[in-house]
Structure 1
Amino acid sequence: MTYAMSATTPSTSVYNVPNALTTARFALAIAVMALIPMRYFTAAMIVFVIAASTDWMDGYWARKYGQVTKLGRIFDPFVDKIIVCGSFIALVEVAPSGVASWMATAVVARELLVTSLRGMVEGSGGDFSASQLGKWKMVLQCVAIVAVLLSLMYGGQPEWLATTAHVLLWAAIVLTVYSGYDYVIRAARVLRDVPDPTP
């Protein structure tokens, strides 16, 4: 009975397992950004895969054991953005990666835009939770980063690997831009339906 109560009662302490996992992912994200410019592509890929694949763990643990905190709700998506945006920015420094500066800019700009829209909508009392398109965007971005790192590990050989990485990279950028557009449309629709609080 005690276990059931602790699993369903929200936690107010920020010192819990989900926030510790998110902090560890943040450290891994910093490591990836350091390893890529140093051309330790194998290590960067391994660390990135660990960070990206454990993304679900902190949220799952927080919901299951009632350890959802305000800090966690802010920190977790922030770290997600650091992992992806930081990796794209770091890859710009590696000439054979195929990641152009405008691509990294598009990824960062999209995240800043959506974060701003979410703050505006939720501040007005509307719901602006992540869409399935946004989640698939994150998945494709991670797959593209792994493919690019694999291609760099093997010096762009075989050719099919480099081609696959290039296609996935462009697909990720296209979906990133489109999902940003989709969020703008959603925000406009929600804000239109939210009643004006001013008399």
Structure 2
Amino acid sequence: MNNASSRTIYNVPNALTSARFALAIAVMVLIPLGYFGSAMVVFLIAASTDWMDGYWARKYGQVTKVGRIFDPFVDKIIICGSFIALVEVAGSGIASWMATIVVARELLVTSLRGIIEGGGGDFSASQLGKWKMVLQCAAVVSVLLCLRYQPAEMWLQRTTTVIIWSAVLLTVYSGYDYVLAAARVMRKQDDA
């Protein structure tokens, strides 16, 4: 593959990311309409295909600046949009303050990444950040499952509550961890 084609924004990874963006919008439309089963299926497809665009871009040398910005943006739309949409659904277990924490953490980490990478530093996603995403996705799926099969079994309701709280706590902790990591990188940049 030549260098010109690998730098174009019209490539498979960006097309996959665009498809995930459309799926994220579909989830945010389906939840308020009460189509919880359909929203869950679409969310699972959007969330589980997250790895595909990055894998393809690295394997075939199609990493672009647009892709490096658009892919994490779509990840944030999928999670933040789902949490926000679930706030207005009675019985979801997602409070507005929980959605606010999720959105605030994503804005904070994105801002820190922009500052550090703009200064030439590396601020890649940590394992903790990846586990946070997994728990957040599990929380959304579990809530949608409960809403789809109301009244949900007691074990499912309790499991969902545990997953929601675990996701929120890990969201806070991973945000704190990123702030510490950013402070270390910025000190090194200042010392250089």
Say whether the fold is shared (TM-score over 0.5). Answer: yes
Give the alignment partner of residue 27 of structure 2, picking from 32, 37, 44.
32
Q: Does the alignment pair 1:76 with 2:105? A: no
In the aligned structure 1, how far is the partner of 2:36 from the partner of 2:30?
Answer: 7
Residue segments in structure 2 that go unaligned for 5+ positions in a row:
none
After superposition, the CA RMSD in angstroms is 1.5
Give the alignment partner of residue 37 of structure 2, picking from 35, 42, 56.
42
Q: CA separation of 1:164/1:192 partners in 2, compared to 1, >3 Å: closer, same or farther?
A: same
Q: What are the Cα deviations for residues 126-176 of structure 1, in whole angstroms up to 9, with x where unaligned?
A: 211110000110011001110110011111421100111111000000000
Counterpart of 1:169 in structure 2 is 164
Give the alignment partner of residue 58 of structure 1, picking from 48, 53, 61.
53
In the aligned structure 1, how far is the partner of 2:109 from the partner of 2:48?
Answer: 23
In the aligned structure 1, how far is the partner of 2:9 from the partner of 2:26?
Answer: 24
Q: Percent identity?
A: 74
TM-score (norm 1): 0.93
In the aligned structure 1, how far is the partner of 2:79 from the partner of 2:39?
Answer: 13
Whichever residue aligns with residue 63 of structure 1, its letter is: R
In the aligned structure 2, how far is the partner of 1:141 from the partner of 1:134?
Answer: 11
Residue segments in structure 1 that go unaligned for 5+ positions in a row:
1-5
TM-score (norm 2): 0.96
Q: How does 1:102-181 map to 2 (within 5 A)?
A: 102-181=97-176
Q: Which has the larger radius of gyration?
A: 1
In the aligned structure 2, how far is the partner of 1:134 from the partner of 1:7?
Answer: 34
Give the total of aligned pairs.
192
CA contact (8 A) 1:8 1:65 kept: no
